[in-house]
Amino acid sequence: MHPGRLFPAVLCVFPVLAGAGEIYGKVSLGAAPAGAGLEVAARCGDRSYPAVKTDATGSYNLVVEETGKCTLTVTREGASASLAVASYEDAAQADIVLEVRDGQLTARRR
């Protein structure tokens, strides 16, 4: 196959990734890693993205199609907290610290 024909073929196979952004990071509970099983979902503009689960180190990785202002929502044991982040064409890191204040789960950027 001619090398010039390979690029359009790759775009057909991975159409969502072309122009997509990535938001990734680690979730911690205070100073400790959050661990596995927390859910991190995104809303960018009018579009919602399904939650992904954190791994054993508290890491998450979301792929979003929009760039600009997004809201991440982290859910732990039925409680949720949200924070604003920005999505770019390239990857954007958003490390999140969860804390319980006055009985409410809160989230902030590290």
What is the structure's pLDDT at 21? 85
Global pTM value: 0.79
Whether the per-residue pLDDT at 6 is higher than 70: the answer is no
The per-residue pLDDT for range 42-101, each reduced to its tens digit, is 999 999 999 999 999 999 999 999 899 999 999 999 999 999 999 999 999 999 999 999
Interval 8-30: pLDDT, tens: 444 444 444 445 789 999 999 98
* In CATH, 20-109 is 1.10.390.10: no
Beta bridge partners of 98: 29, 107
Domain range list for the chain = 20-109
Q: Is 14 exposed, middle or buried (0-12, 13-18, 19+ CB in 10 A)?
A: exposed
